[in-house]
């Protein structure tokens, strides 16, 4: 077992600045990539900035385990008057997920962009990718409600453009990007309106200070309206059923780099921000918050888990199958939130990491196969395991984790949620998890049958093993799903410590 509090991965001086460096370095990298003289130079800048950001995220995670929570004051003005980053163990875990997937995806992009994006757009694509990465890290690190909106928009601006760039490979990327732009803007607008209502009620934007002031206020229309606007706005960003309309097109038609990164991190950051408001900002005794968990979030999460799994069963395009699967898995995560307990929250955050790794591996494997066959429909992937065994096995590992196969991280994640549901007396949630898992077996079984047991169609393009530069990060992602299935000490420590501390300090 690895004890994070005993790890020192960077010099103390650098560790002290790690929270802001994890955000600033990708931002500076975005500027440098945009000005790079060639796509290859832009790719190298992206890899270096992403690797450094991942290193700083690991330094933040180890420090968060030692300190409980990190408060990094910006500009010398202490909160609540000044702006500060506030990173607890759960935020550090999400930052580590973003940093790790970002670094591996950046390495992979050296080959995928050549096949999917016009050469003259490579530098701008890498700049947008780093911009998105910086924004997502800022979302999970910030301690200020308004700056969370700023970081949401920073990440979204890059995302909208990068999905649209996929039109060179798939014309449907343009309407998918437009749909995401409209719904994402609506979500961000609703969120910032909600923050405005809370500011009117409390006079502060600092989340910790806002929580303290809300605990002393009686229920009033301004607070309730703020809560409602924030939940709906973040629900759109998190692809919560039935606010998920933007997700299938965005995942299915974007270039591989964006599908990988979005599936692993974008919705996860918004889910975490929603958890911050649900369990930290709003007091424990807020009646409308409890009603939201019981009568809104739980039923919608259960419906999403089942309905979107059924949609995945009947889909024919492989990327859309995985996209609908992602919405169903978001439902599983919110079912853990609906338990309203430290165990349920910890299990959900652990599931976020498991899902991020498995979906990144699956989309990266599809991107690697697209380098040779460019297929979309499930039947076009028939027999690819015979021609590209390592790529197919990596995809199978991610799929096995998605199903919840023992010895994978996905198994521990699902088992943790079921245990939390039983401990809370919510047996129906465990039943929904089991039903959703059965449906997952069905659509994953269809994919495995086509890839491993069906012969390629006559005249179909022959799949080729991905180049080493694309295969190495893919195998690393698959390996992480197995490693954390055998030794999950790192994500367990961070998720459990964060949930325990949050419930201890609630008013």
pLDDT of residue 63: 92
Pair 410, 354: CB distance under 8 Å: yes
The pair of three-digit structure tokens given for residue 235, joined into one six-digit string: 């629900």
- The per-residue pLDDT for range 419-475, each reduced to its tens digit, is 999 998 999 999 999 999 999 999 999 999 988 888 877 766 777 888 888 899 999
Q: Which helix (H) or strand (E) holds 451?
A: none
Chain centre to alpha carbon of residue 110 = 22
pTM, 2 dp: 0.94
Give the Cα separation of 24 and 137 in Å (integer).
10
What per-residue confidence (pLDDT) applies to 271? 94
Q: How far is CA 200 from CA 220, 246, 308, 473, in A?
A: 11, 31, 38, 47
The CA distance from 183 to 305, in Å, is: 21
Label residue 506 by pLDDT band (50, 70, 90): very low
Q: Under a CB-based contact definition with an 8 Å cutoff, are residues 462 and 374 in contact?
A: no
Task: Render pLDDT for 231-253 as a digit per residue (tens, 0 to 9).
Answer: 999 999 998 988 888 888 888 77
């Amino acid at each position: 077992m690895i004890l994070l509090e005993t790890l020192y991965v960077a010099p103390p001086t650098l560790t002290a600045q790690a929270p802001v460096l994890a955000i600033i370095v990708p931002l500076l990298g975005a500027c440098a990539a945009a000005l790079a003289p060639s796509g290859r130079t832009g790719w190298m800048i992206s890899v270096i900035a992403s690797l450094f950001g991942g290193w700083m995220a690991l330094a933040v995670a180890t420090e968060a385990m030692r300190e409980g929570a990190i408060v990094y004051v910006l500009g010398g003005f202490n909160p609540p008057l000044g702006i500060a980053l506030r990173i607890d163990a759960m935020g550090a875990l999400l930052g580590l997920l973003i940093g790790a997937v970002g670094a591996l995806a950046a390495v992979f992009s050296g080959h995928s962009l050549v096949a999917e994006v016009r050469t003259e757009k490579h530098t701008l694509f890498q700049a947008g990718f780093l911009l998105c990465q910086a924004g997502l890290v800022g979302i999970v690190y910030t301690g200020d409600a308004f700056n969370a909106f700023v970081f949401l928009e920073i990440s979204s601006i890059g995302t909208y453009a990068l999905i649209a760039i996929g039109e060179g490979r798939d014309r449907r990327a343009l309407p998918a990007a437009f749909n995401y732009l409209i719904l994402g803007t609506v979500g961000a607008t609703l969120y910032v309106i909600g923050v405005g209502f809370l500011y009117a009620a409390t006079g502060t934007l600092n989340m910790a200070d806002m929580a303290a002031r809300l605990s002393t206020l009686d229920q009033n229309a301004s607070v309730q309206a703020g809560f409602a606007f924030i939940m709906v706005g973040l629900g759109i960003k998190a692809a919560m059923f039935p606010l998920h309309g933007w997700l299938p097109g965005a995942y299915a038609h974007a270039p591989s780099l964006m599908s990988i990164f979005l599936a692993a991190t974008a919705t996860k950051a918004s889910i975490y921000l929603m958890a911050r408001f649900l369990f930290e900002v709003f007091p424990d005794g807020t009646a409308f918050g409890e009603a939201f968990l019981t009568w809104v979030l739980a039923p919608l999460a259960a419906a999403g888990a089942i309905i979107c799994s059924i949609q995945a069963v009947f889909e024919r395009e492989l990327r859309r199958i995985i996209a609908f699967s992602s919405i169903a898995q978001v439902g599983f995560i919110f079912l853990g939130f609906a338990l309203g307990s430290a165990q349920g929250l910890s299990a959900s955050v652990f599931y976020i990491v498991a899902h991020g790794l498995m979906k990144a591996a699956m989309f990266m494997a599809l991107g690697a196969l697209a380098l040779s066959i460019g297929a979309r429909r499930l039947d076009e992937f028939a027999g690819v395991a015979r021609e590209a065994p390592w790529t197919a096995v990596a995809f199978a590992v991610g799929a096995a984790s998605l199903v919840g196969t023992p010895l994978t991280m996905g198994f521990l994640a699902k088992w943790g949620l079921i245990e939390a549901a039983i401990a809370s007396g919510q047996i129906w949630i465990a039943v929904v998890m089991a039903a959703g898992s059965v449906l997952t077996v069905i659509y994953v079984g269809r994919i495995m049958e086509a890839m491993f047991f069906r012969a390629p169609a006559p005249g179909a393009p022959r799949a080729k093993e991905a180049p080493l530069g694309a295969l190495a990060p893919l195998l690393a992602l698959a390996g992480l799903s197995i490693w954390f299935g055998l030794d999950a000490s790192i994500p367990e420590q961070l998720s459990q410590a964060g949930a325990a501390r949050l419930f201890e300090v609630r008013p």
